[in-house]
C-alpha cells in the first residue's frame, strides 16, 4: 500500500534509487531514454505527420488506412508506436483519445504524455462526459457534432488528424507543422489559423 501523502515524484525517485542500488537499472540508460523522449521525440513528430497529410492527399489516404506504416515512412517508430490508428476530425465527428487503464500514449509522435492525460479524473470522466470535459479544457464542441472517445491500450495507440485551418492554403509543410499542437492530436483542442486553440 502506498502513502498518498508522499508526492509521486519522490516515490518515483526512491524506486529508481532502489532499482539502481540492486543493479536492475543502469542510470545512464534511463537518463538517455528520458533525454531522447524529452528532446528528440515529441509533438513535433506528430505535427510533421499532420502537415504531410494536409498537403499530400495520397499520404493522407495511406495514413488513415494504415497509420503505422505511413508514420513509419517518415521515420517515426519505436516503443509505444508499434500499432497506430489515425482518426480524422470532421465537421460531423470529433475524436478524443484517452487510456482508461493507465496512460498508453503514442510516444514516437507525441513524446511523453502530459500530466493531465495520466490524471485519473481525465481518464474516468472523458469517457462518461466528454463534451463537459472538453469544454472545461477550452474546447466547445457544437451540439450537432458527435464525439467519439477512443481508448488506447497496449495493443493500439490513437492519433487524431486535426482539420486543416482556413487561410493556410499557401503555407509550406514546415509552416503548417508549426500550427499543430499536441492537444489537437489528442483531440482536446482544435487549431486556429495562427496556431491558437479554437473552440
- Give the separation between CA 105 and CA 150, rounded to whole angstroms: 12
Task: Classify 88 in phi/psi space as left (phi over 0), alpha (psi -120 to 50) or beta.
Answer: beta
Q: Smallest Cα–Cα separation from 128: which of 115, 147, 112?
A: 147
Phi, psi angle pair for 148, to nearest 5°: -115, 125
Cell of 67: 497509420
Q: 104, 115, 152, 199: which is the annotated catalytic residue? A: 104
27: Cβ contacts below 8 Å, ≥ 6 apart: 16, 20
Q: 103, 115, 152, 199: which is the annotated catalytic residue? A: 103
Q: 73, 102, 115, 152: which is the annotated catalytic residue? A: 102
Judge whether 153 counts as a catalytic residue.
Answer: no
Q: 73, 99, 152, 153: which is the annotated catalytic residue? A: 99
Strands 157-161 vs 93-98: parallel, antiparallel or unpaired: unpaired
Asked if 46 and 74 count as a contact pair (C-beta separation under 8 A), the reply is: no
Judge whether 103 counts as a catalytic residue.
Answer: yes
Judge whether 199 counts as a catalytic residue.
Answer: no
What residues act catalytically?
99, 102-104
Amino acid at each position: 500500500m502506498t502513502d498518498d501523502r508522499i508526492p509521486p515524484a519522490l516515490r518515483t525517485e526512491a524506486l529508481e534509487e532502489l532499482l539502481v542500488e540492486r543493479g536492475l537499472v543502469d542510470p545512464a540508460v534511463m537518463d538517455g531514454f528520458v533525454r531522447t523522449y524529452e528532446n528528440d521525440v515529441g509533438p513535433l513528430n506528430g505535427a510533421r505527420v499532420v502537415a504531410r497529410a494536409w498537403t499530400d492527399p495520397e499520404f493522407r489516404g495511406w495514413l488513415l488506412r494504415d497509420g503505422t506504416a505511413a508514420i513509419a515512412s517518415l521515420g517515426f517508430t519505436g516503443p509505444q508506436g508499434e500499432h497506430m490508428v489515425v482518426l480524422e476530425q470532421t465537421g460531423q465527428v470529433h475524436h478524443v483519445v484517452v487510456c482508461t487503464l493507465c496512460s498508453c500514449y503514442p510516444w514516437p509522435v507525441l513524446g511523453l504524455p502530459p500530466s493531465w492525460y495520466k490524471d485519473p479524473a481525465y481518464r474516468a470522466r472523458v469517457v462518461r462526459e466528454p463534451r463537459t470535459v472538453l469544454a472545461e479544457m477550452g474546447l466547445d464542441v457544437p451540439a450537432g457534432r458527435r464525439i467519439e472517445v477512443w481508448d488506447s491500450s497496449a495493443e493500439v495507440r490513437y492519433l487524431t488528424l486535426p482539420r486543416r485551418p482556413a487561410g493556410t492554403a499557401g503555407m509550406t509543410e514546415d509552416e503548417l507543422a508549426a500550427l499543430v499542437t499536441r492537444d489537437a492530436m489528442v483531440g482536446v483542442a482544435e487549431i486556429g489559423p495562427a496556431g491558437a486553440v479554437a473552440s
